[in-house]
């Protein structure tokens, strides 16, 4: 049964990786794989025990899905009201190198609050308006991909993988941000400094971006208000968790409910505005990317089946025996995340290494090693950094990269030659910074 489950998971994973070749949505493969794995586990282990484990896995998975649905709704609501124009309209410089640094930093900090795919779309659409030359635009787009992935790695709400680690108690918001902001910033700063030679010292053509028009019926004041309340709601979630101890999805439901009430009041006051152009939450929520939500459901539950069957525990024991080094394990996972989706990789690691109790780690046979796996231990911060930043090594390694590839028609080989070495230098610089911080006892 174990061998069959592993073979089935590997086959499903291969089909997910070849999504664009076989023209079958990865969500469909993930859902089929999930159902088949749990069916095999049930046939081998007995329905009563399997039912209990299935309910436990579904409970923890649904917490993440509820959080993501709320966050995606708020981000879409900001976007449909033109809120992001407030940020992008302020980027005016024509100096290429200054613009490169400015775009990288804005993307880095935006991605810490929004997801990396949304941030990449916003910044690349801006890029099209201010950098007309395709050769330069590809370099800028490549740096946007790096900055978007790095920005999500140090924030508990910046990437699906950090959200998973934060929601399940592997990391806390404060220590994660304090320990990873410098390494993540270095993983952007080093490639940006190296990329300056690719764009030269000149200026972009005189194509000053005209302010982007707001959606019909939306006034600048309303747009700014939705942006402020939406971003404030997202930032409220980690504060709420720390203050109450309740799961983050509860904070997200409050944030979504608050902005929903606000928009209802705003539109009710606009009696002269046609209903067809009103972007109420009830309309925006219909545009949520449900295939992505279903993919997370399928892949997380599939990994949960492997965990319940004890397969991930056996893998962890193999890693402990043959590698036994958190930097090496996390570093390899980061490289793997440039080829395969980082969500199942992180989910698998969380299944392989449950959060260790501090007292239990001290009493273990190898207390120094096990201390890496306590809550906010070194391994979890390494995993957050590596899984997020490592996806930049190839353009197909992250949602931001795939978006940039599609919007700008960036060639895979060009990215491999021009951007991958820069991304690798930044990735290594961040890992070195984490190692130095660890030695210094930060």
Look up residue 355 and give its two tokens. 């959060």
N residues, the chain: 442
pLDDT confidence of residue 258? 94
φ, ψ for residue 44 (rounded to 5)? Answer: -90, -30
pLDDT in tens, 81-112: 888 777 777 777 778 888 899 999 999 998 99
Q: DSSP letter for 159, please.
A: S
Cβ contact 259:78 at 8 Å: no
pLDDT confidence of residue 67? 86
pLDDT confidence of residue 205? 56
pLDDT in tens, 226-276: 989 998 998 898 889 888 988 889 999 999 999 999 999 988 887 777 777
pLDDT confidence of residue 207? 44
Whose CA is closest to 288, among 299, 296, 300?
296
Q: Is the dihedral of CA 410, 426, 112, 86 positive or negative?
A: negative
Domain span at residue 251?
2-440
Distance of CA 140 to the CA centre of its chain: 20
Query: What is the rounded distance in angstroms from the CA atom of residue 100 to the CA atom of residue 103?
Result: 5
Query: What is the rounded distance in angstroms from the CA atom of residue 367 to the CA atom of residue 365?
Result: 6
How many domains, in total, are found in the chain?
1
Look up residue 228 and give its two tokens. 């402020």
pLDDT confidence of residue 382? 94
Cβ contact 38:46 at 8 Å: no
Task: Using DSSP, state whether 216 is helix, strand or coil.
Answer: coil
pLDDT confidence of residue 198? 84
Query: What is the rounded distance in angstroms from the CA atom of residue 257 to the CA atom of residue 213?
Result: 28
Look up residue 190 and give its two tokens. 């080093």
Low-confidence ranges of the chain (pLDDT < 50): 206-210
Distance of CA 394 to the CA centre of its chain: 16
- Rounded CA Rg of the chain: 22
pTM over 0.75, yes/no: yes
Query: What is the rounded distance in angstroms from the CA atom of residue 93 to the CA atom of residue 208?
Result: 9
Query: What is the rounded distance in angstroms from the CA atom of residue 333 to the CA atom of residue 97?
Result: 33
Q: What angle do CA 53, 57, 62 make, to 5 degrees?
A: 145
pLDDT in tens, 185-239: 999 999 999 998 888 776 665 444 445 677 777 888 888 899 899 989 988 988 8
Look up residue 144 and give its two tokens. 């946007």
């Amino acid at each position: 049964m174990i061998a069959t489950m592993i073979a089935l998971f590997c086959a499903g994973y291969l089909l997910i990786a070849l999504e664009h070749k076989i023209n079958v949505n990865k969500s469909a493969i993930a859902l089929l794989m999930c159902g088949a794995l749990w069916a095999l586990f049930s046939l081998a282990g007995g329905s009563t025990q399997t039912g209990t484990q299935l309910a436990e896995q579904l409970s923890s998975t649904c917490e993440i899905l509820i959080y993501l649905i709320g966050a995606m709704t708020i981000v879409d609501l900001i976007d449909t009201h033109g809120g992001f124009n407030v940020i992008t309209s302020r980027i005016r410089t024509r100096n290429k190198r200054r613009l490169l640094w400015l775009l990288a930093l804005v993307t880095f900090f935006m991605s810490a609050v929004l997801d990396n795919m949304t941030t990449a779309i916003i910044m690349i659409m801006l890029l099209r308006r201010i950098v007309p030359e395709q050769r330069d635009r590809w370099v800028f787009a490549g740096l946007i991909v790096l900055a978007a992935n790095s920005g999500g790695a140090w924030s508990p709400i910046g990437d699906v993988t950090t959200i998973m680690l934060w929601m399940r108690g592997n990391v806390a918001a404060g220590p994660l941000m304090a320990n990873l902001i410098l390494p993540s910033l270095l993983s952007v700063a080093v490639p940006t400094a190296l990329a300056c030679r690719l764009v030269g010292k000149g200026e972009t053509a005189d194509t000053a971006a005209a302010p982007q028009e707001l959606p019909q019926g939306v006034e600048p004041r309303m747009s700014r208000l939705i942006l402020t309340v939406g971003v404030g709601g997202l930032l409220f979630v980690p504060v709420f968790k720390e203050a109450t101890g309740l799961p983050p999805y509860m904070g997200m439901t409050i944030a979504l409910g608050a902005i929903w009430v606000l928009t209802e009041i705003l539109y009710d006051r606009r009696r002269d505005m046609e209903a067809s152009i009103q972007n109420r939450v009830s309309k925006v929520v219909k545009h949520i990317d449900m295939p992505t939500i279903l993919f997370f459901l399928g892949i997380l539950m599939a990994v949960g089946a492997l965990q319940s069957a004890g397969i991930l525990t056996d893998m962890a024991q193999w890693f402990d025996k043959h590698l036994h080094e958190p930097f090496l394990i996390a570093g390899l996972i980061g490289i793997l995340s440039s080829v395969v989706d980082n969500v199942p990789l992180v989910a698998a690691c969380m299944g392989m290494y449950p959060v260790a109790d501090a007292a239990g780690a001290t009493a273990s046979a190898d207390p120094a090693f096990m201390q890496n796996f306590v809550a906010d231990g070194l391994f979890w911060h390494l995993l957050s950094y590596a899984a997020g930043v490592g996806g930049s090594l190839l353009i197909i390694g992250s949602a931001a990269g795939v978006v940039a590839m599609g919007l700008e028609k960036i060639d895979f080989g060009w990215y491999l030659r021009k951007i991958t070495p820069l991304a690798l230098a930044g990735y290594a610089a961040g890992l070195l910074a984490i190692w130095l911080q660890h030695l210094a006892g930060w």
